[in-house]
């Protein structure tokens, strides 16, 4: 995986600070107060910190003219007025106001050298709050990074953190630079701080941030975090691509557990994330290894119905050979086997019958048999609970599935948590109103 750029651009323009700066600045300056408004695109920034000071009359006049020119997109004229203001500047307020407007012009004209000059002036101002300074350090870090000066970018990001920034993008950017230095654990700690800020604010974490976090965890060989970040990703962003990527990552965590691998393929099918011929082939191979011909038949038929399989793949054809007859035989035998299993003392036969129904895709029939297997014992109760959760989820009982999956706390807990993310999005079926009874 290629490491992504540390810096994110919400508006797709690398040379521009997220949005225009200080729209209300001049009107408040006329009243003798300046409202220090930082870029509103910066999440969680307190944007309305009022700063009181006096402005020199000539500076105020030139600043008003510059603001008018900026509103007309006449940036050469605005720069001229700001040069006049600079010559007349006497106070810290004058310099603060001029630098703010210079930053606005530089931002609108994508002039990074002028941006840096204005930011430097503002950072030196005693009127700048720590919070606003942190945001400016972040923007200067972006400029430094894209000027191939990663060390300067890292220094400015640390300065933003030291000033108590609450902008999660600072931590994401610093995490990427930290990861590039080989400190993968440190990168994970930083990106988790960004996640915590977003969650505290009730905001969804962007897909790109999850992908960065997964990348950091993979480089740290931290399988537990790869799994947990992936689960959170599909819980918040359940797209086909995300499901497929996360399930593939999860499968690598269970190289010696064919049952877990099978149940992850089942989840990929349930999530609509079987996207190509090789997905269907690999799923069929796992089912073949577990001696589940009925499941192979169902997979291959689904692939053909989706126009992904065309019957010309010899390997898939060999796997599919004889499965229709085997599925018909299983379907005929299961009712008797299920009835006998329910009266058996131990749970093995109930588990086997449930697995048979699962392979056929008859999930509502499988669920009570998994429950019976758990109650009777003598089975892998963790696997039975996992399969019960799967059967309930595929039957549309999301709440029941979540309750069952929450019982899985052993080695397959990661598989269960991923199925839980799927089950948690199942909407309850509305209760049917009773039919009206005719009067009398």
Q: What is the pLDDT of residues 190-220, one digit of tens each?
A: 999 999 999 999 999 999 999 999 999 999 9
Angstrom distance (rounded) from CA 310 to CA 82: 70
Residue 146: the pLDDT is 92
Residue 313: the pLDDT is 86
The count of residues in the chain is: 440
Architecture of domain 261-423: Alpha Horseshoe (1.25)
Over residues 226-285, the pLDDT tens digits come to 989 999 999 999 999 999 999 998 998 888 999 999 999 999 999 999 999 999 999 999
Smallest Cα–Cα separation from 392: which of 408, 380, 376? 408
Residue ranges of the chain whose pLDDT lies below 70: 1-5, 7-53, 429-440
Residue 415: the pLDDT is 95
Q: Distance of alpha carbon 375 from its chain centroid, rounded?
A: 38
Angstrom distance (rounded) from CA 235 to CA 223: 18
∠ CA 56-60-66, rounded to 5°:
145
Q: Distance of alpha carbon 307 from its chain centroid, rounded?
A: 30
Q: What CATH number does domain 25-166 carry, 3.40.50.620, 3.40.50.300, 3.40.1500.10, 1.25.40.10?
A: 1.25.40.10
Residues of the chain with CATH 1.25.40.10: 25-166, 173-253
Top-level class of domain 173-253: mainly alpha
Residue 429: the pLDDT is 63
Residue 6: the pLDDT is 74
């Amino acid at each position: 995986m290629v490491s992504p750029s540390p810096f994110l651009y919400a508006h797709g323009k690398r040379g521009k600070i997220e949005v225009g700066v200080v729209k209300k600045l001049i009107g408040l300056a006329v009243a003798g107060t300046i409202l220090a408004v930082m870029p509103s695109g910066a999440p969680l920034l307190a944007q309305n910190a009022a700063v009181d000071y006096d402005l020199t009359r000539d500076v105020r006049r030139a600043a008003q003219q510059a603001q008018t020119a900026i509103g007309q997109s006449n940036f050469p004229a605005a720069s001229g007025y700001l040069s006049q203001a600079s010559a007349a500047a006497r106070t810290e307020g004058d310099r603060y106001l001029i630098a703010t407007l210079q930053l606005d012009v530089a931002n609108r004209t994508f002039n990074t050298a002028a941006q840096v000059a204005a930011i430097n002036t503002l950072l030196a101002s005693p009127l700048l709050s720590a919070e606003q300074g942190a945001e400016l350090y972040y923007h200067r870090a972006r400029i430094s990074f894209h000027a191939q000066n990663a060390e300067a970018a890292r220094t400015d990001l640390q300065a933003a953190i030291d000033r108590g920034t609450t902008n999660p993008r600072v931590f994401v950017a610093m995490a990427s630079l930290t990861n590039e230095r080989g400190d993968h654990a440190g990168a994970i700690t930083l990106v988790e701080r960004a996640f915590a800020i977003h969650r505290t604010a009730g905001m969804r974490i962007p897909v790109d941030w999850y992908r960065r976090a997964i990348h950091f965890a993979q480089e740290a060989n931290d399988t537990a975090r790869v799994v947990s970040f992936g689960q959170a990703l599909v819980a918040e962003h359940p797209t086909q691509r995300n499901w497929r990527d996360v399930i593939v990552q999860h499968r690598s965590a269970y190289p010696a557990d064919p049952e877990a691998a099978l149940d992850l393929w089942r989840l990929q099918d349930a999530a609509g994330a079987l996207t190509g011929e090789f997905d269907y082939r690999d799923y069929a191979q796992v089912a073949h290894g577990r001696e589940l011909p009925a499941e192979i038949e169902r997979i291959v038929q689904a692939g053909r119905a989706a126009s992904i399989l065309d019957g010309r793949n010899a390997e898939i054809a060999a796997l599919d050979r004889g499965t229709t007859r085997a599925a018909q035989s299983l379907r005929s035998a299961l009712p008797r086997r299920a009835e006998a299993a329910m009266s058996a003392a131990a749970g093995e036969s109930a588990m086997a019958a449930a697995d048979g129904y699962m392979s056929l895709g008859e999930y509502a029939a499988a669920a009570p048999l998994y429950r019976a297997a758990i109650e009777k014992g003598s089975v892998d109760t963790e696997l039975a609970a996992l399969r019960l959760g799967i059967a309930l989820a595929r039957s549309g009982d999301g709440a029941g599935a979540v309750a069952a999956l929450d019982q899985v706390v052993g080695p397959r807990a990661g598989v269960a948590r991923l199925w839980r993310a799927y089950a948690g999005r199942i909407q309850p079926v509305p209760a049917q109103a009773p039919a009206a009874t005719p009067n009398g």
